[in-house]
Structure 1
Amino acid sequence: MAEEKMGSKGQAWFCATGLPSDVVIEVDDMIFHLHKFPLMSKSSKLHHLITEREQNPRTRTDEEEEDEEIEEEELPHISLPNFPGGSGTFETAAKFCYGVKIDLTAANVAALRCAAEYLEMTEEFSEDNLINRTERFLAQSVFRSLKGSVKALKSCNTLSPLAEDLGIVQRCIDSIAARANASDSAASSLFGWPIADAGARDLGFSVRRKNNIKGGSDPWFEDLTALSLPIYKRVISAMKDKDLSSDIIEGSLISYAKRSIPGLSRSNRNPAPTPSTSEIEQRELLETVITNLPLEKSAAGANTTRFLFRLLRTINILRASEASRTLLERKIASQLEHATLDDLLMPSYSYLVETLYDVDSVERILGYYLEKVEENSSAIVAVRWPKRRR
């Protein structure tokens, strides 16, 4: 269909149909040498731009008259700034215009949907156009799959604001929350494992899910860590609205924190590259994770408790808000029985305190723990048996 080769202005893309190109499209640093008819038959925007350029040809300067590439300059030259998805996405859209079969995937469909909107590839202009094709794939494939919805949402990071305006971001978020909730409620395969029978499902799934949540390192969680913080907040909010399992929410938050805040994960095996963030951004992220942690005691026990103490140390380093500190200390107190001596020996980062360890924080945690014990004891005493009738 086409071949790529280097040109004088970066990369040039030529359509290998045997016919000379009659229009030049520039997207980012790529120059596309194409043909008017297939483009104008599918894209209303390109039809308008090419027609306008032909009716109002650009006047060349004397220097351009002497240019060796005068033939290229005589062709209509169209520039598409800020094209969604960049030159790679435009190449796929151009192939669609030529009638070449394109492979839609969860990773590229959002970009192609935005590109189709940008190019105005509507049904009114041409039957079974790219807008309709991508919308159908989103509805019939992507939004029916948890993993597919996560992949599509990840791809939207570089497609704003168009992906937001088209509702792709919100539809992905709604799909993730709904699919995760349905899978969790039915105790089915949340992470793509096959279910052989009811017995295997009841036993195998619960064990596998628990093991994956402990480490907060399941591939499903890992995909969410690539989301920007504002989008991730919306995903967590949608999960809470669906009353998703607190273990799932907590596991996702732990995974996101490990990936995004340096020093939280002790694992040095194949560390994933993370973009550098400022202290202010890290503080905001840390406070977001803490404020969204479920109040219930963690099912993972000691592993989660150990990680919560790491978060508490990070609060001291990043100087997070007192409200976040209080929430986290109360969370730790709810499962203090899983803490070890090493967990409690937290270094003091205050210049005003002469002690080596943060005694004040441990004292507050113990106080919250005793409050909880007293509440439970009072609840037991308050239960009264009905009086016997005489």
Structure 2
Amino acid sequence: MSKSAQPPPPEIAPPPLPELAANCFPVNSIYVVVEVVWCPKHTNSCNSICDAPIKLDQGLLANRSATIASLLRNNPSENLSAFIKEIPLEREALELIARFCQGLEVKMTTDNVIPLICLSNYLEMTENHSPNNLLHNAIIFLEDEIIPSWDQTIKSLRASGCAFQQAADNGLLKLCIEALTDCALSDPALLGQPIMVERDSSSSKHLYYKNATRRKLFAGAEHLDTSSEDLASLPVKMYEPIIKGMIQGQVRQENIIGSLHQYLKKHAADVETIEAIERLLPASTFTCNNKYPLYPYTLLFEMYTSAVFHGASAECIASLENRIGKELYRSTAEDLLKLDLDVESLRQILKAYYANFTEANPAGLVTVAELMENYLVQVAKERETDVRSFTELAQMASSTSNVGDYRCSDGIYKAVDLYLDMHRELIESEKEEICRVLDFQKMSSEACQHAALNQKLPLRVVVQVLFVSQLQLKDNISKAVVEYPSISSVKHGQQRGSEEIRVVEEDQELDDEKEEIQGCHEKNCCGKKSKKKVGLWKGMKRKFGCMGSNDYEILHDCSCQTTKKNKKEHS
């Protein structure tokens, strides 16, 4: 028999169909040919890429999908190809749907389970429509194989691609967040190590390092593997809701901040990342009990610089200014200089500081006043600033110096002097405008003397300095005159008190001596020598006018050696 006369090969029988519901659609060999719009994995947005068409038997599809069945029932001529194209999906998920409808094996993995659940949920491939349906099987696989593992959950979310929004809408993302939160509560080190921040107290630093070491030692062995999946590998649209869920789940703040810091370092050039991290940061850089800082204060300056450079939203920049202002006392003039702030931004930062200041001790206000003066000096020295901007900055610095007993504002004068020295081309009116910020009554005498001889200052300003200096000199002299009598009276009172004590002591000596002299007259013992002297006491009584006639008679009539000596001294 010739080759051309050979019989055709037998046809291969199709695979057996799965059991369907009672009211199912018959297989009619009408196919839906779909040019799939799919997303490549590990991307943040869908890209329209045309690939080889996928054939779906609409009867088999309707038997598994309540959505397709409803469409065909209401309009048998419905173009299912256009309907399926509107679904944001990946090619692999659609291929798995086709295999499942044909009764072939569907291999579920970490990478495809979330898109598969989202698509089967959209098509309503539920148990109510058909037993042993795809949605139920996919959810069982997710719960048993993916959710219990930190690594598998992160991998599955990262591979979800275009299906992420559907996962968020149908509650699948919430389920994953709860699972990750439970893992982080049992082992916070999965998020990342806390940021080690230098502290003022060495004891608190030692305690903090000790706690961090203890957490590392007692962590589970399976979590010490450095190959564990990191949340920083997720796109920001996934990362932000996960961290929000962990914050609500009371995961340790220190580890959450460690994760945020790590994520920011990895995606520092992404403006969406900067805005998301700013929203996720706690209100204060310290813990709620102010025991130790959660993250360095300078991190806010780095974020602010990046936010301005990459064009972040106005809300993000304003919020960062508010955060910086709350703890402005921790800043340095160099920190503010690096930010390259305009006048309005600096005003907002100062406003945030004073709005949130609640301390009874004004030390923080004094610190900020000194900070503003040092910052103004640095601006005058290193920045090219126009007269108007510099004057506004100087006015803000001057307003901060009105704090309690803090009166010396030499820093502002130093800044003005430097600015005038750097801009010698200014006319007299511009110099006078700048010098209006000076308050000579708040300047030290050394600064006033320097200003009086400063040739860079306008003549009118020099006259004001001399006038204020004369007033200060007059006030100082008046105060000295008023204080002198009070000081003299105090000294005189102290001296008089000492003399009165001596008067009391010597009064007793006089009484004893008078008794001795009288006894000498009665016993004719004038030849006996007196045992005590009264010269000092007589002088004191003569000084105060207390010498009586009896005292002199007794002294003059007695012929003993003591009486003669006293009489001679008295005369």
Calculate the TM-score normalised by the size of structure 1. 0.57
State the match for 1:112 in structure 2.
116
State the match for 2:279 in structure 1.
288
Q: What secondary structure, in the 3-state scheme, does the structure 2 residue paired with 1:178 have?
A: helix
Please state how far the C-alpha of 1:89 moved relative to its aligned partner: 1.5
Letter in 2 for 1:88: E
State the match for 1:325 in structure 2.
321
1:126 pairs with one of 111, 125, 130 = 130
State the match for 1:311 in structure 2.
303
Give CA deviations for 1:171-220 in whole Å, capped at 9, x if unaligned.
Answer: 12222222211223xx7x678xxxxxxx998528599999x9xxxx9841
State the match for 2:254 in structure 1.
247
Please state how far the C-alpha of 1:243 moved relative to its aligned partner: 1.8
2:67 pairs with one of 25, 39, 45 = 45
Does the CA contact (< 8 Å) of 1:116 and 1:131 recur in 2?
A: yes
Letter in 2 for 1:43: S
Does the CA contact (< 8 Å) of 2:90 and 2:162 recur in 1?
A: no
Please state how far the C-alpha of 1:98 moved relative to its aligned partner: 2.4
Please state how far the C-alpha of 1:161 moved relative to its aligned partner: 5.1
Is residue 2:96 matched to residue 1:92?
yes
Please state how far the C-alpha of 1:288 moved relative to its aligned partner: 1.4
Q: 1:292 to 1:102 in 2, by over 3 A?
A: farther
Please state how far the C-alpha of 1:143 moved relative to its aligned partner: 1.9
* Residues in 2 aligned to 1:313 and 1:207: alpha-carbon distance in whole angstroms: 40
Give CA deviations for 1:148-188 in whole Å, capped at 9, x if unaligned.
Answer: 3333444556336532332112212222222211223xx7x
Q: 1:89 to 1:372 in 2, by over 3 A?
A: farther
Is residue 2:227 matched to residue 1:227?
no
Does the CA contact (< 8 Å) of 1:25 and 1:79 recur in 2?
A: no
Does the CA contact (< 8 Å) of 1:305 and 1:332 recur in 2?
A: no
* Residues in 1 aligned to 2:253 and 2:328: alpha-carbon distance in whole angstroms: 15
Asked which structure has the greater CA Rg, the reply is 2
Please state how far the C-alpha of 1:347 moved relative to its aligned partner: 1.9
Does the CA contact (< 8 Å) of 1:257 and 1:285 recur in 2?
A: no
State the match for 1:142 in structure 2.
146
Structure number with higher helix proportion? 2
* Residues in 2 aligned to 1:343 and 1:151: alpha-carbon distance in whole angstroms: 43
* Residues in 2 aligned to 1:117 and 1:282: alpha-carbon distance in whole angstroms: 31
Q: 1:344 to 1:140 in 2, by over 3 A?
A: same
Does the CA contact (< 8 Å) of 2:65 and 2:125 recur in 1?
A: yes
The 5 Å alignment of 1:151-166 reads 151-155=155-159, 158-159=162-163, 162-166=166-170
Give CA deviations for 1:92-133 in whole Å, capped at 9, x if unaligned.
Answer: 211122233333233322211111122221112322211101
* Residues in 1 aligned to 2:298 and 2:109: alpha-carbon distance in whole angstroms: 39
* Residues in 2 aligned to 1:17 and 1:236: alpha-carbon distance in whole angstroms: 53
Calculate the TM-score normalised by the size of structure 2. 0.41
Deviates more, 1:146-155 or 1:122-131: 146-155
Does the CA contact (< 8 Å) of 1:174 and 1:238 recur in 2?
A: yes
Please state how far the C-alpha of 1:237 moved relative to its aligned partner: 2.5
Deviates more, 1:79-88 or 1:318-327: 318-327
State the match for 2:33 in structure 1.
25
Q: What secondary structure, in the 3-state scheme, does the structure 1 residue paired with 2:111 have?
A: coil
Does the CA contact (< 8 Å) of 1:290 and 1:328 recur in 2?
A: no
Q: 1:17 to 1:107 in 2, by over 3 A?
A: farther
Does the CA contact (< 8 Å) of 2:31 and 2:56 recur in 1?
A: yes
* Residues in 1 aligned to 2:329 and 2:220: alpha-carbon distance in whole angstroms: 26
State the match for 2:217 in structure 1.
203
Deviates more, 1:147-156 or 1:342-351: 342-351
Does the CA contact (< 8 Å) of 1:222 and 1:255 recur in 2?
A: yes
CA RMSD of aligned residues (A): 4.9
Does the CA contact (< 8 Å) of 2:301 and 2:339 recur in 1?
A: no
Letter in 1 for 2:61: L
State the match for 1:179 in structure 2.
183
Does the CA contact (< 8 Å) of 1:181 and 1:244 recur in 2?
A: yes
* Residues in 1 aligned to 2:327 and 2:150: alpha-carbon distance in whole angstroms: 29
**Unpaired segments ≥5 residues, structure 2:** 1-11, 16-27, 38-49, 193-212, 365-571
Q: 1:32 to 1:312 in 2, by over 3 A?
A: closer
* Residues in 1 aligned to 2:175 and 2:305: alpha-carbon distance in whole angstroms: 37
* Residues in 1 aligned to 2:257 and 2:100: alpha-carbon distance in whole angstroms: 43
Does the CA contact (< 8 Å) of 1:154 and 1:227 recur in 2?
A: no
State the number of aligned residues.
Answer: 291
**Unpaired segments ≥5 residues, structure 1:** 1-15, 59-75, 192-198, 263-273, 354-359, 376-390
* Residues in 2 aligned to 1:330 and 1:56: alpha-carbon distance in whole angstroms: 66
Q: Percent identity?
A: 20
State the match for 2:341 in structure 1.
350
State the match for 1:388 in structure 2.
none
Does the CA contact (< 8 Å) of 2:300 and 2:320 recur in 1?
A: no
Q: What secondary structure, in the 3-state scheme, does the structure 2 residue paired with 1:93 have?
A: helix
Letter in 1 for 2:236: L
Where relative contact order (Cα < 8 A, 6+ residues apart) is larger, the structure is 1
1:238 pairs with one of 245, 255, 258 = 245
* Residues in 2 aligned to 1:94 and 1:208: alpha-carbon distance in whole angstroms: 39
* Residues in 1 aligned to 2:285 and 2:337: alpha-carbon distance in whole angstroms: 23
Q: What secondary structure, in the 3-state scheme, does the structure 1 residue paired with 2:130 have?
A: coil
Q: What secondary structure, in the 3-state scheme, does the structure 1 residue paired with 2:187 have?
A: helix
State the match for 2:495 in structure 1.
none
Q: What secondary structure, in the 3-state scheme, does the structure 1 residue paired with 2:55 have?
A: strand
